[in-house]
Structure 1
Amino acid sequence: MLNNKIKNVVLFAAVTIILVACSGSESKKEKKADEPIYKVPVEATLLEIGKITNTYKTTAILEARAESKVTNKVSGMIVDILVEEGMVVEKGDVLAEIDSENYLLELERTNIDLESAIAEFNRSKPVDGRQLVAVKDLEKLEFLVKTRRNQQKVAQIQVRDTKVRAPIAGVVAERMVKEGNMTANPGGVMFSIVALDTLQGVVYLPESEINNVHVGQQANLEFPSTAAAIPATITLISPVIDTDSGTFKVTLNVNNDDYRLKPGMFAKVSLTLDERQNTQLVPQRALLVTDTETSLYVVEDNKAKKMVVETGYEQNGLVEVLTPLDAQTPIIVVGQQSLEVGADVKIIGQDL
Structure 2
Amino acid sequence: MKPILKFLPFVVIAALSVSCAQEEGVDAMKTKLADLKDQANSLNAEIKTLEAEISKQDPDFAKANKKSILITTAAARKGEFTHFVEVTGSVLSKKNVNISAETAGRILEVPVVEGMRVSKGQVLARIDAESIERNIEEMQSQLDLATTIYQKQAKLWDQKIGTEIQYLEAKTRKEGLEKSLAAMKTQLDKALVKAPFNGTVESVDVRIGELVQPGMPMFQFVGESDLFIQADVSESFVGVLSKGDSVEVEFPSINKSIKTRVSAVGGIINPNNRTFKVEVFLPNLVEVKPNMISILKINDYQSKESVIVPAHLILADNKGDYVFVVENGTAQKKYVTRGLTFEDETEIKEGLNGTETIVDKGFREVGDNFSVTVSQL
- Normalization by structure 2: what TM-score? 0.65
* CA-CA distance at 1:102 after TM superposition: 2.1
The correspondence for 1:189, drawn from 217, 227, 230, is 217
Answering whether residue 282 of structure 2 is matched by residue 253 of structure 1, we say: yes
Task: Provide the C-alpha distance between the structure 2 equivalents of 1:251 and 1:276, rounded to a whole number of angstroms.
Answer: 24
Which range moved further: 47-56 or 101-110? Answer: 47-56
Question: Structure 2: any 5+ residue segments left out of the alignment?
Answer: 1-53
Q: How does 1:114-125 map to 2 (within 5 A)?
A: 114-118=143-147, 123=153
Alignment check: 8 A CA contact 1:121 1:142 kept: yes
Answering whether residue 228 of structure 2 is matched by residue 200 of structure 1, we say: yes
RMSD of the alignment, in Å? 4.2
The one-character-per-residue Cα deviations of 1:9-67 (angstroms, maximum 9, x if unpaired) are xxxxxxxxxxxxxxxxxxxx9xx875744368585432235554211111223334422
The correspondence for 2:265, drawn from 231, 235, 238, is 238
1:162 corresponds to: 191
Task: Provide the C-alpha distance between the structure 2 equivalents of 1:80 and 1:168, rounded to a whole number of angstroms.
Answer: 20
Answering whether residue 207 of structure 2 is matched by residue 214 of structure 1, we say: no
The correspondence for 2:135, drawn from 103, 106, 109, is 106
Alignment check: 8 A CA contact 2:200 2:221 kept: yes
Alignment check: 8 A CA contact 2:230 2:277 kept: no
The correspondence for 1:271, drawn from 284, 292, 298, is 298
Alignment check: 8 A CA contact 1:38 1:344 kept: no
> Secondary structure at 1:208's aligned position in 2?
coil
Task: Report how many residues are paired.
Answer: 312
Alpha-carbon distance change, 65 to 114 in structure 1, aligned in 2, over 3 angstroms? same
* CA-CA distance at 1:154 after TM superposition: 1.1
* CA-CA distance at 1:68 after TM superposition: 3.0
Alignment check: 8 A CA contact 1:42 1:332 kept: no
Alignment check: 8 A CA contact 1:59 1:267 kept: yes
Q: How does 1:4-19 map to 2 (within 5 A)?
A: none
The one-character-per-residue Cα deviations of 1:71-114 (angstroms, maximum 9, x if unpaired) are 33223333333333333211001223333432222112222333
Alignment check: 8 A CA contact 2:247 2:296 kept: no
Task: Provide the C-alpha distance between the structure 1 equivalents of 2:293 and 2:317, rounded to a whole number of angstroms.
Answer: 36
Task: Provide the C-alpha distance between the structure 2 equivalents of 1:289 and 1:254, rounded to a whole number of angstroms.
Answer: 45
1:13 corresponds to: none
Q: How does 1:173-184 map to 2 (within 5 A)?
A: 173-179=202-208, 181-184=209-212
Task: Provide the C-alpha distance between the structure 2 equivalents of 1:185 and 1:214, rounded to a whole number of angstroms.
Answer: 45
2:95 corresponds to: 66
* CA-CA distance at 1:202 after TM superposition: 1.0
Alignment check: 8 A CA contact 1:57 1:271 kept: yes
Would you tell me which structure has more helix in proportion to its own residues?
2
1:8 corresponds to: none
The one-character-per-residue Cα deviations of 1:117-159 (angstroms, maximum 9, x if unpaired) are 455556278555677155xx87666554443232111111122
> Secondary structure at 1:92's aligned position in 2?
coil
Alpha-carbon distance change, 143 to 295 in structure 1, aligned in 2, over 3 angstroms? farther
> Secondary structure at 1:210's aligned position in 2?
coil
The one-character-per-residue Cα deviations of 1:271-298 (angstroms, maximum 9, x if unpaired) are 3445556753211133346898654443
2:371 corresponds to: 346
Task: Provide the C-alpha distance between the structure 2 equivalents of 1:59 and 1:91, rounded to a whole number of angstroms.
Answer: 32
* CA-CA distance at 1:219 after TM superposition: 1.9
Task: Provide the C-alpha distance between the structure 2 equivalents of 1:126 and 1:232, rounded to a whole number of angstroms.
Answer: 74
Alignment check: 8 A CA contact 2:69 2:366 kept: no
Question: Structure 1: any 5+ residue segments left out of the alignment?
Answer: 1-28
> Secondary structure at 1:97's aligned position in 2?
strand
Alpha-carbon distance change, 248 to 187 in structure 1, aligned in 2, over 3 angstroms? closer
The one-character-per-residue Cα deviations of 1:282-340 (angstroms, maximum 9, x if unpaired) are 11133346898654443333455454544444222111234484555322457778988
Alpha-carbon distance change, 255 to 41 in structure 1, aligned in 2, over 3 angstroms? farther
Alignment check: 8 A CA contact 1:175 1:191 kept: yes
Alignment check: 8 A CA contact 1:235 1:253 kept: no
Write the letter of the residue equivalent to 1:214: G
> Secondary structure at 1:174's aligned position in 2?
strand
1:15 corresponds to: none
Percent identity among equivalent residues? 18
Q: How does 1:12-27 map to 2 (within 5 A)?
A: none
Write the letter of the residue equivalent to 2:244: H
1:23 corresponds to: none
